[in-house]
Amino acid sequence: MKISVCQSNPIIGDLKGNKEKILEGYKKGINDGADLIVFPELFLCGYPPLDLVEKKEFREKVINTANEIASQTNSIGLLFGSITEDYEDKIGTNVYNSALLCYDGKIQFVQSKTLIPNYDVFDEVRYFESAKEINIHKFGNENLGISICEDIWNDADYWKHRRYPIDPIKTQIANGATLLINISASPYAYGKRKERYQMLSVLTKNDKIPLAYICCVGAQTELIFDGGSMCFNRSGELCLLGKSFQEDYFVFDTNEKYQPVQEVETCFEEEVLNALIMALKDYGAKTGFSKAIIGLSGGIDSALVVYIAERAFGKENVVAVMMPSQFSSDGSVDDSVKLISKLGIKSHKISIQTVFKEVLNVLYPAFNNMPEDLTEENLQSRIRGMYLMALSNKHGYLLCATGNKSELATGYATLYGDMSGALAVIGDIYKTQVYKLAKYINRNGEIIPEAIIEKVPSAELRPNQTDQDSLPPYDLLDRILKMYLEDQKEFNEIVNEIGQPEIVSKVLRMVDMNEFKRKQAPPVLRVSTKAFGYGRRYPIVQRWRK
Amino acid sequence: MKISVCQSNPIIGDLKGNKEKILEGYKKGINDGADLIVFPELFLCGYPPLDLVEKKEFREKVINTANEIASQTNSIGLLFGSITEDYEDKIGTNVYNSALLCYDGKIQFVQSKTLIPNYDVFDEVRYFESAKEINIHKFGNENLGISICEDIWNDADYWKHRRYPIDPIKTQIANGATLLINISASPYAYGKRKERYQMLSVLTKNDKIPLAYICCVGAQTELIFDGGSMCFNRSGELCLLGKSFQEDYFVFDTNEKYQPVQEVETCFEEEVLNALIMALKDYGAKTGFSKAIIGLSGGIDSALVVYIAERAFGKENVVAVMMPSQFSSDGSVDDSVKLISKLGIKSHKISIQTVFKEVLNVLYPAFNNMPEDLTEENLQSRIRGMYLMALSNKHGYLLCATGNKSELATGYATLYGDMSGALAVIGDIYKTQVYKLAKYINRNGEIIPEAIIEKVPSAELRPNQTDQDSLPPYDLLDRILKMYLEDQKEFNEIVNEIGQPEIVSKVLRMVDMNEFKRKQAPPVLRVSTKAFGYGRRYPIVQRWRK
């Protein structure tokens, strides 16, 4: 069987646009002699549609559009993800996350998703019922075992701890499936493509069955879909691999012999940079922003974000704003100017000094002779945030927040100040990873000035301040944070591994106590298995560990 | 049987404090001759514990603490909500939301929750498995049918559309239960207490069985728990009703005859004011804030929030800040001064004029001769937000945001400006409801100056501006918003009911397009069936209705 894999980028709720993409792909597949053209999970409505699914009018429109698409099919198969609804059933939501197989002018077969993920960034039980039946469908010479994303993530041969008691894939194989097709919308995290590859390779090899695994690509606000669709033969060899972080289209012929693909993932730096660039670009494309603005402090975080923005929008569409104060080192502006000139982007230099002075002057009576403290530091950050938002409002620029994951984790950031922005571009990148990315960017010659990479990290909000006045060394901090946030380890386990109970306790308390700030943070582009934002739900008011 | 109902207020994660409350209640119950002392759902860890449940160390500590509590029991029963875990099972989370019945020094019986809610503000499938068994337990002369919150919300006699195929209560009754006990943590929305009463009255009457329904009280950030525990006899009569919005304790004797309670809910205004006052006070108490600060514009929203803060924290602990600009009407400051003096609270008057001028001056070159627009309006709002945050930082005041639900819905609010704050106190109150509350506050004499209630709503950010320059009349707007947000109606249904397709379309688009602002809004105190925040999950980037 010849399968056209349409690794496409939907827009959530854009039924018209997504329908057009489906019909274009269908035509292309027919021209290429395909038997079956396949689009990813919930492609018609975009994934994740979230509470749009709760709207009856929306569901009806999706289902009507699916029928319109089906009516345009001939004998060549078209498979895509859509919402379906069981109007007879009166218990539960009766809404399903389904794969629709269309040919001869109709939806001929529906397989709904059986395993409904409800962890981390997944909320699907909120919307979808589990499939009532797991079936296969005879199409051409094959018995198709069609499944949706999570359905294929519960293989007892691969997972030590399974989430679900049933395995729909094994059921389909037992019922005589000769070819597996899985349509997915599996959000990106570094390392996940390799995991997909290993898991699917084990499955196809053990069960001696070929598989076409069709993935989404693009970004939906914070969630990044990396593409990397995979087609396996019955020996568990990866025959074809879709491009990463871009749309792709290719034909998988189950009867052809392929040279197996060995590498599915490149290095952390390249992967993650490409992920962030695509996500920022896609956010702009889907919301109508074509220009970005970033506050450039002279530090490494904002330098990295400016670089990413330049790659996403082009140098003529990026504006860097330098906003020095009395505490800014001379080097900060010089280094920023170097970077600006290297990238060829636009810039402004706007002092915060006079406004800061006037604000202090006006607030003086209400400050009641209290000594200087964090207030004055936050004020400088907020004046900068206000400038950036004003320029964003005036010129329609997308404001990129520049805080990294270590800062967001510890609350080493100012709410309504440097936390301002439409997206926290590097909010899922630890400080130590920021350095790695910067060095990688410079691998073939200096782009980010070495002085920026070499300087001691400082918020430059008071004289001679450095980050390490308030935080443990970043190497140690990030190690603790990763164990706590991504590896789900707790105080005892972390201390058992690295000692330093006082520092560990301090760090974990900082993370817990700054939930109120993160509640109001911009969406964080997710590139790890546990990012701040939608997939991490922590009480704001609580006393665990107090 | 004599049951002590402990309608208490837990702190999430405060195992020590919650344990003490349980043991105090147990002692009190014993002194009162009770046979069984009961605490609400997940009381030991606080509800909702959210992702704390995913921490192994946390779960272990909860379970150890539960055993410590049980070890202190004698033959009198103690029932409370806790997490439990099945260490044998290797599929799924294996964690349960359980009711633990303790006596004679041990946990003697565990009934876990069967119906796991996963809609609106509920995410319980993320953490908890459904009970493997539904049992009853012989205790004294009764066969106890113990259940947890949602378990009792699926009565086929009451609900037209059921969420779940099974009914654990009916199972317990069929198995011989003689007394039902339900421990709950059911978040407040106006009208819900009446609904609980009606549903439970139908159930106890139809099944001829008494019920003790024990509720949580207090606020957990945005979620408000109103108390109002209810005890019914076998005729469906409400024998005892717990206090609203405060802790309560009382003894229900199933053998005693009670004069049935008729009224479970007072008017909207009184209920909701009490809800908001308690929630604000409780947030302060649980986070260590004892003083509040509010920007007082001269409009009705901030006047209402100042009143609520005064009721929550006392007049000596509330600071109102007037921040007039050139566009502020003379009346605004005068009316604010009147309110401040009426409430006896502290105040500052700090002009934004000189700072606004200096910011415009500094930004002038970067504005590039573009005409005045929303930018200048937002700047004024952001300068005010910056002042308030500075005073909050300097003096440790809790900043209360003053935006109402109509504004949050339509985006008629400035991010990092008037949206700044720790809590959006009236973020679930429509503008028309704000008027109702203000009039109610004045029912026995003017507290909020009539001039504030009477004036035409205006943000006062440009000359002669009124809200209705940008928004439909509030009566119409709020009607559309309520249908859209709370009644889950869509465009066609709304237009069928009220006509005005252009206005409806404009309003719905405004709501949808401002999701990015609400993403960064403070937590909204929830008093309706659908508040912005945790219980409403809408894509930020999407094109439905575009």
DSSP B436-485: HHHHHHTTTS-SS-HHHHHSPP---SSTT--GGGTS--HHHHHHHHHHHH
User: What is residue B431's predicted lDDT score, i.e. its pLDDT?
Assistant: 98
Which residues of chain A from 487 to 506 reach within 8 Å of chain B, CB to CB?
488, 490-493
* Tokens standing for residue B52: 């704390």
User: What is residue B470's predicted lDDT score, i.e. its pLDDT?
Assistant: 86
Contact A363 B390 (CB under 8 A): yes
Out of B54, B283, B516, the one facing A541 most closely (by C-beta) is: B283
Contact A359 B355 (CB under 8 A): yes
**B271-467+514-519 falls under which CATH superfamily?**
HUPs (3.40.50.620)
Chain A residues with beta carbon closer than 8 angstroms to that of B12: 539, 541-544
Under 8 Å between Cβ of B387 and B399: no
CA distance A421 to chain B (A): 10
Smallest CA-to-CA distance from A397 within A319, A339, A344 is with A319
The arithmetic mean of pLDDT across residues B244-250, rounded, is 98
Contact A283 B48 (CB under 8 A): no
For tokens 């009477």, the residue is B454
Confidence tier at A5 by pLDDT (50, 70, 90): very high
* Tokens standing for residue A546: 């107090």
Contact A378 B395 (CB under 8 A): no
Q: Which residues of B452-462 are buried (b: 16+ CB within 10 A; e: fewer)?
A: bbebebbbbbb
The arithmetic mean of pLDDT across residues A111-118, rounded, is 98
Q: Which of A19, A41, A271, A407 is catalytic?
A: A41
Q: Quickly list DSSP for A254-266.
A: TTS--PPP-----
Under 8 Å between Cβ of B387 and B352: yes
The arithmetic mean of pLDDT across residues A403-413, rounded, is 97
Contact A163 B350 (CB under 8 A): no
- The reply to whether A113 belongs to the active site is yes
User: What is residue A546's predicted lDDT score, i.e. its pLDDT?
Assistant: 67
User: What is residue B546's predicted lDDT score, i.e. its pLDDT?
Assistant: 67
Chain B residues with beta carbon closer than 8 angstroms to that of A491: 57
Of A330 and A533, the one with more pLDDT: A533
Collapsing DSSP states into helix, strand and coil, what is residue A355? Answer: helix
- The reply to whether A316 belongs to the active site is no
Q: Is the pLDDT reported for residue B528 higher than 70?
A: yes
Interface check for B54 against chain A (CB to CB < 8 A): the answer is yes
Confidence tier at B90 by pLDDT (50, 70, 90): confident
The arithmetic mean of pLDDT across residues B442-463, rounded, is 93
Which residues of chain B from 290 to 329 reach within 8 Å of chain A, CB to CB?
321
Contact A523 B519 (CB under 8 A): yes
Structure confidence by residue, pLDDT tens digits, B99-154: 999 999 999 999 999 999 999 999 999 999 999 999 999 999 999 999 999 999 98
| Cis status of the peptide bond prior to A187, with omega within 30 of 0 | no
Instruction: Check residue B163 and report its DSSP letter.
Output: S
The arithmetic mean of pLDDT across residues A60-64, rounded, is 97
The arithmetic mean of pLDDT across residues A72-94, rounded, is 95
Contact A165 B92 (CB under 8 A): yes
Interface test with B, best of A62, A162, A386, A526 (most B CBs within 10 A): A386
Interface check for A52 against chain B (CB to CB < 8 A): the answer is yes
Residues in chain B: 546
Percent pLDDT > 70 in chain B is: 100
Under 8 Å between Cβ of A293 and A305: no
Active site residues of B: 41, 113, 149
User: What is residue A391's predicted lDDT score, i.e. its pLDDT?
Assistant: 98
Return the residue of B nearest to A352 by Cα. B362
Confidence tier at A331 by pLDDT (50, 70, 90): confident
Contacts for B47 with CB less than 8 Å, ≥ 6 apart: B10, B12, B40, B41, B81, B185, B216, B220, B225
Percent pLDDT > 90 in chain A is: 93
Q: Where are the domains of chain A?
A: 2-265, 271-519
Chain A residues with beta carbon closer than 8 angstroms to that of B13: 539, 542-546
A15-31 and A56-71 helices, crossing angle to 10°: 20
Give the ipTM of the model, two decimals please: 0.96
Q: Is the pLDDT reported for residue B544 higher than 70?
A: yes
Maximum separation of any 2 CA atoms in chain B, in Å? 84
0.90 surpassed by pTM: yes
Contacts for A309 with CB less than 8 Å, ≥ 6 apart: A280, A292, A294, A318, A400, A425
Interface test with B, best of A483, A505, A520 (most B CBs within 10 A): A520
CA distances from B219 to A88, A274, B216, B277 (A): 40, 43, 9, 10
Q: Give A233-240 contacts, CB < 8 A, sequence gap 24+.
A: A233/A204, A233/A258, A234/A204, A234/A205, A234/A208, A234/A209, A234/A210, A235/A204, A235/A205, A235/A208, A236/A201, A236/A202, A236/A203, A236/A204, A236/A205, A236/A206, A237/A201, A238/A197, A238/A201, A238/A262, A238/A264, A240/A5
Interface check for B287 against chain A (CB to CB < 8 A): the answer is yes
**A271-519 falls under which CATH superfamily?**
HUPs (3.40.50.620)
Contacts for A60 with CB less than 8 Å, ≥ 6 apart: none
CA distance B289 to chain A (A): 12
For tokens 């900060």, the residue is A332
Structure confidence by residue, pLDDT tens digits, A504-517: 999 999 999 999 99
Interface check for A141 against chain B (CB to CB < 8 A): the answer is no
Identify the weakest region by mean pLDDT among A326-330, A363-367, B431-435, B537-541. Answer: A326-330
Out of A363, A385, A519, the one facing B523 most closely (by C-beta) is: A519
Chain A residues with beta carbon closer than 8 angstroms to that of B56: 488, 490
Contact A393 B375 (CB under 8 A): yes
User: What is residue B159's predicted lDDT score, i.e. its pLDDT?
Assistant: 84
Confidence tier at B469 by pLDDT (50, 70, 90): confident
Q: Quickly list DSSP for A456-492.
A: PP---SSTT--GGGTS--HHHHHHHHHHHHTS---HH
Contact A366 B54 (CB under 8 A): no
Structure confidence by residue, pLDDT tens digits, B198-229: 999 999 999 999 999 999 999 999 999 999 99
Contacts for A27 with CB less than 8 Å, ≥ 6 apart: none
From the centroid of its chain, how far is CA B514?
A: 22
| Sign, CA torsion A361/A366/A370/A372 | negative
The arithmetic mean of pLDDT across residues A51-73, rounded, is 97
Structure confidence by residue, pLDDT tens digits, A241-289: 999 999 999 999 999 999 999 999 999 999 999 999 999 999 999 999 9
Contact B390 A49 (CB under 8 A): no
Q: How far is it, in rounded angstroms, from Cα B138 to Cα B116?
A: 25
Interface test with B, best of A358, A534, A543 (most B CBs within 10 A): A543
Contact B490 A383 (CB under 8 A): no
Interface check for A174 against chain B (CB to CB < 8 A): the answer is no
Structure confidence by residue, pLDDT tens digits, A130-161: 999 999 999 999 999 999 999 999 888 888 88
Could you give the angle at the alpha carbon of B109 between the alpha carbons of B106 and B110, nearest 5°? Answer: 115
Confidence tier at B328 by pLDDT (50, 70, 90): confident
Fold match between domain B2-265 and domain B271-467+514-519: no
Strand partners, B100: B80, B110
Helix (H) or strand (E) holding B5: strand B2-7
Q: How far is it, in rounded angstroms, from Cα B426 to Cα B483?
A: 19
Return the residue of A nearest to B90 by Cα. A161
Confidence tier at A108 by pLDDT (50, 70, 90): very high
Out of A57, A126, A545, the one facing B491 most closely (by C-beta) is: A57
Q: How far is it, in rounded angstroms, from Cα A543 to Cα B8?
A: 17
Taking all residues of chain A, what is their mean pLDDT, rounded to a whole number?
96
* Tokens standing for residue B447: 């507290």
CA distance B15 to chain A (A): 8
Chain B residues with beta carbon closer than 8 angstroms to that of A163: 91-92
Chain A residues with beta carbon closer than 8 angstroms to that of B54: 488
* Tokens standing for residue A118: 């409800």
User: What is residue A393's predicted lDDT score, i.e. its pLDDT?
Assistant: 98
CA distance A502 to chain B (A): 18
Interface check for B199 against chain A (CB to CB < 8 A): the answer is no
Q: Domain B2-265 has what CATH class? A: alpha beta
* Tokens standing for residue B397: 């005041």
